């Protein structure tokens, strides 16, 4: 049986000749690939980057561009925060969830200031000013933002400091970030070929990866990589078969990708006996305006609060999808999630920062709102009474929202259905759907130097990985900027390791 784009490795003995030869081959030209290519070229290796698209960018170029950095960066210091690597590591260990890779987090936190300077030296601009309220993307060019560090329970686990570093841009900074990184890789001497889809690794008799098979315009190309292959092919949110096998909770939601995250790198590694980690884990971008949520309530289909509404909005999203059944993964349970605000809270968020969101229903009493939303009779009434009581007393006993956002709500009340979606400034498309935009966090098992490890946890000779093709820092939690963060940080490591491999 012939399989198109088979990931079954090809024996080097079956490859009569190579169409192209290089020292280091990087597969996938997003932020991780560009970082790997830069460092490999910088270390003196001949470097070729292949990407299936028509140019560099991938999902990285579509992102907000936030990079999670700390431990005392110049931007943090300019904004008055004395951060430490230890506080950063403590936050990430808690926030990246059960299964987070503590060794990688410590390495990443210890090297974060150096990594900041590396990015700046590559031309990535960070304005040293802070945006100081919950949001997905600030409407300003502020270079620093909070990503949940100042919300419960993290306030009790680590000294808070904002660590979301944003390239200076009008809104989404991912495009600018990718332009800088690709230009850097090119300046260092890396070359690139596009419209090349890599599906198969070429393996020597001793198990070492020595090249790849690619297809370009329907033609097969064999590429020899003398020192190693770096897989930076991204996650697998675009591969529904892989989602069904590993993360079926993520099926049916809006996919955060450039449409090319089909998990090819992960599968190529697996076919060779590489270990994988946390393939079920996913980030959940929730379709709500964080500024509105913080000023109101977020309730599930039983009209109950379930999280402090002022926390990192991706944490609200993960709670909603995995715990409140927003995704419909649990038979029977209601999938609704509503943001409840009053007029004061709604008006308090400047109109441009509402991203076009309008109330789905408005009512004078919570009882009326129950009827309009289909929430169980009495449910929202009880929730609101409890919340107002706690807000009046000044302490959110139940979910620990900061007193800064705690205020009794008064009529009229509005309910906003998260399924109605939001339209970020940089996107022309509409996100209307389930209320969630997702991507995958799991991937190949790698060590601190970017080697891909086999099932015996030994490095597979000649094979490296970074970015969302690898598991990176992540357990089952997520924080914005940790994907571009660990992709660029460990992408650099992987590129250096590959260049030194011979």
Residues 477-496, interacting with its own copies (CB under 8 A): 477
**In sequence order, what are the beta bridge partners of 300?**
337
Of 44, 55, 74, 153, the residue at the interface with its own copies (CB under 8 A) is: 153
The reply to whether 400 sits near its own copies by the rule CB under 8 A is yes
How many chain residues touch its own copies (CB under 8 A)? 63
| Helix (H/G/I), strand (E/B), else coil: 485 | helix
Instruction: Determine whether 17 is exposed, middle or buried from the number of CB atoms within 10 Å of its CB (0-12, 13-18, 19+).
Output: exposed
Residue from 122, 165, 224, 277 touching its own copies (CB under 8 A): that is: 277
User: CB of 291: closest distance to its own copies in angstroms?
Assistant: 22
171 binds its own copies, rule: CB under 8 A:
no
Return the range that interacts with its own copies (CB under 8 A); candidates 123-131, 218-226, 370-378, 404-412. 370-378
| Tokens 């200076």, located at residue | 168
Tell me how far, at minimum, the Cβ of 367 lies from its own copies, in Å. Answer: 14
Rounded alpha-carbon distances, angstroms, from residue 126 to 71, 253, 338: 16, 32, 35
CB of 172 to its own copies, least distance (A): 29
> Quick one: 126 or 490, whose CB is closer to its own copies?
490
The answer to whether residue 73 forms part of the interface with its own copies (CB under 8 A) is: no
Q: Dihedral angle at the C-alpha atoms of 154, 480, 232, 70, nearest 10 degrees?
A: -60
**Could you tell me the two tokens for 244?**
């069904």
The reply to whether 88 sits near its own copies by the rule CB under 8 A is: no
Cβ atoms within 10 Å of 205's Cβ, excluding its own: 8
99 forms part of the interface with its own copies (CB under 8 A): yes
Least CB distance to its own copies at residue 249 (A)? 6
Q: Is 3 in the site for its own copies (CB under 8 A)?
A: yes
Residue among 266, 275, 229 at smallest CA distance from 462: 229
Which of 52, 267, 419, 468 touches its own copies (CB under 8 A)?
267
Residue 435's CB is within 10 A of a number of other CB atoms, namely: 28
Q: Is the Cα torsion angle 204, 207, 210, 214 positive or negative in sign?
A: positive
Among 44, 55, 74, 248, binds its own copies (CB under 8 A): 248
- Does residue 278 interact with its own copies by CB under 8 A? yes
- In angstroms, the Cα distances linking 227 to 48, 274, 496 are 12, 19, 11
- Which of 10, 175, 386, 500 touches its own copies by CB under 8 A? 386
- Helix %, strand %, coil % of the chain (to 5): 35, 20, 45
Q: How far apart are CA 279 and CA 243, in angstroms?
A: 9
| Contact call for residues 268 and 199 (beta carbons, < 8 A) | yes
The 426-455 contact track toward its own copies, x by CB under 8 A, reads: -------------------x--------xx
**DSSP-derived 3-state class of residue 220:** strand
Q: Which of 329, 360, 365, 402 binds its own copies (CB under 8 A)?
A: 329
Least separation, in Å, of the C-beta of 458 and its own copies? 6
In the complex, which residues of this chain contact its own copies (CB under 8 A)? 1, 3, 6-9, 94-95, 97-99, 152-154, 156-157, 244-246, 248-249, 251, 267, 270-273, 275-280, 302, 304, 319, 322-324, 327, 329-333, 376-379, 382, 386, 389, 397-398, 400, 445, 454-456, 458, 475-477
């Amino acid at each position: 049986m012939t399989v198109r784009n088979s990931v079954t490795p090809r024996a080097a003995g079956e490859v009569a000749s190579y169409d192209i030869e290089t020292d280091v081959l990087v597969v996938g030209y997003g932020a991780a690939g560009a970082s790997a290519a830069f460092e490999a070229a910088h270390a003196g290796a001949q470097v070729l980057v292949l990407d299936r698209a028509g140019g560099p960018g991938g999902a990285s170029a579509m992102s907000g561009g936030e990079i999670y950095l700390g431990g005392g960066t110049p931007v943090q210091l300019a904004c008055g925060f004395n951060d430490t690597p230890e506080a950063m590591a403590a936050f990430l260990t808690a926030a990246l969830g059960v299964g987070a890779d503590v060794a990688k987090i410590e390495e990443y936190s210890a090297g974060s200031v150096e990594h900041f300077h590396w990015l700046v030296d590559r031309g990535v601009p960070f304005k040293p000013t802070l945006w100081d309220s919950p949001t997905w993307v600030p409407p300003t060019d502020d270079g620093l933002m909070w990503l949940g560090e100042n919300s419960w329970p993290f306030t009790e686990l680590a000294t808070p400091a904002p660590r979301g570093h944003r390239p200076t841009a009008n809104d989404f900074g991912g495009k600018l970030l990718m332009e800088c990184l690709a230009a850097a890789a090119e300046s260092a001497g890396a070359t690139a070929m596009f419209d090349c889809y890599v599906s198969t690794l070429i393996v020597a008799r001793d198990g070492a990866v020595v090249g790849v098979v690619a297809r370009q315009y329907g033609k097969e190309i064999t590429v020899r990589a003398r020192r190693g292959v770096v897989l930076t092919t991204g996650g697998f949110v675009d591969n529904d078969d892989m989602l069904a096998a590993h993360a079926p909770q993520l099926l049916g939601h809006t996919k955060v990708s450039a449409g090319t995250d089909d998990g090819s790198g992960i599968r190529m590694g697996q076919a060779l006996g590489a270990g994988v980690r946390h393939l079920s884990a996913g980030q959940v971008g929730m379709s709500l305006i964080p500024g509105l949520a913080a000023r109101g309530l977020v309730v599930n289909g039983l009209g109950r609060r379930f999280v402090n509404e002022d926390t990192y909005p991706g944490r609200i999203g993960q709670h909603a999808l995995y715990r409140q059944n927003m995704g419909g993964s649990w038979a029977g349970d209601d999938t609704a999630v509503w943001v409840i605000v009053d007029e004061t809270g709604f008006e308090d968020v400047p109109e441009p920062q509402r991203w076009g969101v309008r109330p789905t229903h408005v009512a004078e009493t919570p009882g009326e709102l129950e009827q309009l939303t289909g929430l169980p009779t009495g449910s929202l009434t009880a929730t609101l009474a409890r919340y107002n009581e706690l807000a009046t007393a000044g302490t959110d006993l139940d979910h620990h929202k900061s007193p800064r956002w705690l205020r009794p709500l008064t009529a009229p009340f509005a309910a906003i259905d998260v399924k109605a979606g939001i339209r970020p400034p940089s996107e022309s498309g509409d996100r209307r759907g389930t209320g969630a935009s997702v991507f995958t966090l799991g991937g190949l098992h790698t060590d601190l130097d970017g080697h891909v490890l086999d099932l015996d946890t030994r490095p597979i000779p000649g094979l490296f990985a970074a970015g969302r093709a690898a598991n990176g820092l992540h357990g089952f939690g997520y924080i914005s900027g940790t994907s571009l963060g660990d992709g660029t940080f460990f992408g650099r490591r992987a590129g250096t390791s590959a260049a030194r491999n011979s």
